[in-house]
Structure 1
Amino acid sequence: MTQPTTTDQDAEFTHLTEELLESTTLHEGSFITLKRDTVRLPDGGQSTRDYVVHPGAVVVIPLLDNGHVLLERQYRHPVGQVMIELPAGKLDSGEDPFVCGQRELLEETGYTASEWHLAGKIHLAIGYSNEVLYAYFATGLQAGTRQLDDGEFLDVFSMPVEEFLEACKDGRITDAKTLSCAFWLADKWQNS
């Protein structure tokens, strides 16, 4: 059994932590696994925790020289609609997040970037998943040819940064990773 990673900061919050007693795999899919853990609660009681084990992913905030952000429209089956999102993709086993970001930007949009900067990490759905997204700014973009995966269908378009931020506020964009990245982009945009 493996327990979630802890940090030095967690040491001061030991009165809140749970101890893993047993872990069971309920389902193993092509890239996610559903687990059920039995844990000892801080008060000594026991409970179960169902959650998704995810390999992690990368989201890219690609900024064009003209002050536009590069976006995608893609149908997402779980919600049954076409969503506006930033380019993103899951990490392959052992893959460096930076390499994944470069790969996904090229595959999905056809663009490469000459400058990359880590914006930060996003824990996407901490109540039921261990997924971590690494967010990168990509600038110095050069257009090329997309290399979409089999069965992947999406449109690439750009939007002025101000309109993108407004779309995040008014509900045109509701994807969590894209909304989280809007926070970093707004900060960068206001301070540039």
Structure 2
Amino acid sequence: MNAGDGADDPLSETGLASETVFAGRLLTVLRDTVRLPDGKQGVREYVRHPGAVAIVAVLADGRLVFERQFRYPLRRAFLEVPAGKIDPGEDILACARRELREEAGYEAARWDHLGVMHPCIGYADERIELFLARDLVEVGNALDDGEFLELLTLSPQEAEAAVLDGRITDGKTIAALFRALPLLRG
């Protein structure tokens, strides 16, 4: 079965008109009129996002680097892997390297692209490119202005337990761990 994004997919919808509802610094909200598979018209509202990266960073002792960061929309701090927005025209690996350095203060000699995840397919076009970073060297962080976080480490087993018991609920972190754990287990 084809997951499909082309015209041959019987479930595809065709855009007929698009209106920008909101344009902010990070997000744009659009309202599109579409032709549905049955020929009728419908309306789709969605968020346009530049994309992001998320990094499972492995220390020499096998522990993983995590951040505890306050997320305003849910009004609480979350445990998550280092991550950040892709700048316009930026290569995804370059972005991952930059974010690991800025947020966690590490550079990595070995990088593996684990794949991509789409966190909000019902209302956003955001994609998050997942990476595994190994052979880390601590170089000191350089947080963006207004960015505050705490760094901590967990073993892969502790991280998996934190997902299963609900301490880690962040989607990108869960997806990145799911993709990285088989490689970490050998």
TM-score grouping bracket, smaller chain normalisation: over 0.9
Q: Structure 1: which 5+ residue stretches go unaligned?
A: 1-6
Given that 1:36 and 1:48 are in contact with CA atoms closer than 8 Å, whether structure 2 keeps it comes out as yes
Would you say 1:99 and 2:85 are equivalent positions?
no
Q: How far apart in 1 are the matches of 2:114 and 2:45? A: 30
Would you say 1:140 and 2:135 are equivalent positions?
yes
1:12-67 Cα offsets, whole Å, 9 max, x none, are: 85210001010000000001100000001000111100000000111011011111
Given that 1:168 and 1:182 are in contact with CA atoms closer than 8 Å, whether structure 2 keeps it comes out as no
Given that 2:67 and 2:151 are in contact with CA atoms closer than 8 Å, whether structure 1 keeps it comes out as yes
2:48 paired residue number: 53
Larger CA deviation: 180-189 vs 16-25: 180-189
1:70 paired residue number: 65
Q: How far apart in 1 are the matches of 2:117 and 2:8? A: 21
SS in 2 for 1:82: strand
Task: State how many pairs are aligned.
Answer: 185
The one-letter amino acid paired with 2:176 is: C
Shift of 1:11: 4.6
Counterparts of 1:1-192 in structure 2, within 5 Å, are 9-11=4-6, 14-190=9-185, 192=186
The one-letter amino acid paired with 2:99 is: E
1:3 paired residue number: none
Given that 2:131 and 2:176 are in contact with CA atoms closer than 8 Å, whether structure 1 keeps it comes out as no
Shift of 1:166: 0.7
1:150-170 Cα offsets, whole Å, 9 max, x none, are: 000001111111000110111
1:4 paired residue number: none
Q: How far apart in 1 are the matches of 2:71 and 2:136? A: 27
> Percent identity between the aligned chains?
42
The one-letter amino acid paired with 2:45 is: D
SS in 2 for 1:70: strand
SS in 2 for 1:182: helix
Q: Structure 1 segments of 4 or more deviating over 6 A?
A: none
Given that 1:34 and 1:51 are in contact with CA atoms closer than 8 Å, whether structure 2 keeps it comes out as yes
